Amino acid sequence: MKFEIEKADFLKILQKTQNVIEKRNTMPILSNALLVAEKGKTVIYATDTEVSLKDEAPAKVEQEGKVAVSAKNLLDLVKELSDSTIQVVKKDNNWLEIKSKKAIFNIVGTSAEEFPTFPSYSTKDFVRVHGQIMHDMIEKTIYSVSNDETRYHLNGVYFERVGGEGGTNFRMVATDGHRLSLIDKKVEFPLPVKKSDGVIIPKKGLFELKKLLEGGEGSLEMAFEGSHLIVKRDTTVLMIRLIDGKYPNYQQLIPARLQKHVVVSREDLLSCLRRVSLLSNQKSKGITLSISKNAMEIYSNNPEMGDAKEEIDVRYVGDSLKIGFNAKYLMDILNNIQDDEIDIELNDQLSPGIVRPSSDSNYTCVVMPMRI
């Protein structure tokens, strides 16, 4: 194997592999990327067996071939090279010689045959999805995904098709049992998911998809085949193995007919929570909201640190209510809302509350209360 490639092109495809490669070394080969020199291009593969990524860059290939090499070591090395053409040559025993101007490096590689088989697909049923829509939906749900590995079916975001007379929506839902985030977006094209059977996309795969969507407008292509979600954007192919499990009936977690309705400035509430939560219990992040006519008092107490109290203006008419919440859960929601005002719907101190942007009923967040 022998090829020449521009540093910027090489760096770009190497950087995309870094979050995919396995860092826990359960299988040492998974910390490697597979480099393949083909006619006119260099192709790179990375996988942790659940999330797999393939990308390519133009290269002048003198001799085709392939080798597995530590993705992190190669990236660190290429970063430090001068901005010029890099020559890569595979030597005996899978060593890799890398030249740039007068610098020569030799790094240890591994036989390509040891690299796991990269997942393949045959479907042509790709649909084009607006990148910004997908990015927005991931941001508004991924923070609610459960990290409890014993509840593996909650370790991802549920993606399904919903619809009616007015058109077709696709929906993302995430919950960890303490909170829930749900968002609907209307689309103008057929979705690659049947209405009756949604899929669970794992958190790591969504983080990679989100990174793929950052730093650019435009669209991507999506398809589902077997147990994988396949995403294509420009030269990048991302394959995400779906979580095999039944997602809970999330509709049961969304309370109906809430009696108390508070309207508050998003920025006022967020900044107040940031300050008051500094003196909350550092593990539970518990704070108390005391709501009365047109006022909300937010209070925290930590015997080891002190206490804090602050009042902000709200629009509310009704009986006074005192309720406890995890401040971090509320701040996660507020950080993902762009509206100036938010609506908070409540019943009593034992019932979950709903938080929504005032102008967008398609985004719904449910938060379980804490005992005061």
Question: Domain-by-domain residue ranges, the chain?
Answer: 2-114, 127-250, 255-367
pLDDT for position 216: 60
Min mean pLDDT across 120-134, 137-151, 236-250, 251-265 is at: 120-134
Q: Which H, E and C letters describe the chain, residue by residue?
A: CEEEEEHHHHHHHHHHHCCCCCCCCCCHHHHEEEEEEECCEEEEEEECCCEEEEEEEECEEEECEEEEEEHHHHHHHHHHCCCCEEEEEECHHHCEEEEECCEEEEECEECHHHCCCCCCCCCCCCEEEEHHHHHHHHHCCHHHCCCCCCCHHHCEEEEEEEEECCEEEEEEEEECCCEEEEEEEEECCCCCCCCCCCEEEEHHHHHHHHHHHCCCCCEEEEEEECCEEEEEECCEEEEEECECCCCCCHHHHCCCCCCEEEEEEHHHHHHHHHHHHHHCCCCCCEEEEEEECCEEEEEEEECCCEEEEEEEECECCCCCEEEEEEHHHHHHHHCCCCCCEEEEEECCCCCCEEEEECCCCCEEEEECCECC
Record the tokens describing residue 250, joined without a space.
């999330």
CATH domain 255-367 topology? DNA Polymerase III; Chain A, domain 2 (3.10.150)
Please name every residue paired with 61 in a beta bridge, in sequence order, or none if there are none: 3
| Separation of alpha carbons 299 and 272, rounded Å | 10
Quick one: 127-250 is in which CATH superfamily? DNA Polymerase III, subunit A, domain 2 (3.10.150.10)
Query: How many Å apart are CA 216 and CA 275, to the nearest integer?
Result: 34
Which CATH number is 2-114 given? Answer: 3.10.150.10
- 169 versus 20: the higher-pLDDT residue is 20
Which residue type, as a one-letter code, is found at position 106?
N
Taking the CB of residue 270, how many other CB atoms lie within 10 A of it?
A: 17
Mean pLDDT of the chain: 92
Tens of pLDDT along 79-134?
999 999 999 999 999 999 999 999 999 999 999 999 999 999 999 888 888 888 89
Region 201-206: what's the mean pLDDT?
Answer: 95
Burial class of residue 327 (count of CB atoms within 10 Å of its CB; 0-12, 13-18, 19+): buried
- Judge if 127-250 and 255-367 fold alike in CATH terms: yes
Query: How high is the pLDDT of residue 41?
Result: 97
Whether residue 69 contacts residue 37, with contact meaning beta carbons closer than 8 Å, is answered with no
Gyration radius (Cα) of the chain, Å? 25
pLDDT for position 129:
85
CA angle, 69 as apex, 66 and 71 as ends, to 5°?
A: 125
Q: Which two tokens stand for residue 292?
A: 């009365």
The answer to whether the CB of 78 falls within 8 A of the CB of 63 is: no
Measured distance CA(371)–CA(6) in Å, rounded:
59
pLDDT given at position 122: 93
Q: Which of 91, 93, 71 is nearest to 10 (CA)?
A: 71
- The residue-averaged pLDDT of 339-355 equals 96
Confidence class for position 194, pLDDT limits 50, 70, 90: low
Share of the chain above pLDDT 90, in %: 79
Please report which confidence band the pLDDT of residue 193 belongs to, taking 50, 70 and 90 as the band edges: low
pLDDT at residue 254 is higher than 90: yes
The pLDDT of residue 196 is 54
Arithmetic mean of pLDDT, 151-164 = 87
| pLDDT score of 192 | 59
Task: State yes or no: pLDDT of 258 exceeds 70.
Answer: yes
Whether residue 195 is predicted with pLDDT greater than 50 in this model: the reply is no
Q: What is the mean pLDDT of residues 64-87?
A: 95
For 272, the token pair is 């107040």
Cβ atoms of 343 and 256 within 8 Å: the answer is no
pLDDT tier, 318 (very low <50, low <70, confident <90, very high otherwise): confident
**197-225 as b/e, with b when 16 or more CB fall inside 10 Å?**
ebbbbbbbbbbbbebbbeeeeeebebbbb
Reported as a pLDDT band with limits 50, 70 and 90, residue 361 is: confident
What's this model's pTM, rounded to 2 decimal places?
Answer: 0.90
Give mean pLDDT, residues 18-37.
Answer: 88
Residues sharing a CB contact under 8 Å with residue 143, sequence separation 6 or more, in sequence order: 174, 181, 332, 336
| Beta strands across the sheet bearing 2-6 | 60-63, 2-6, 85-90, 96-100, 103-107
Q: What is the pLDDT of residue 219?
A: 84
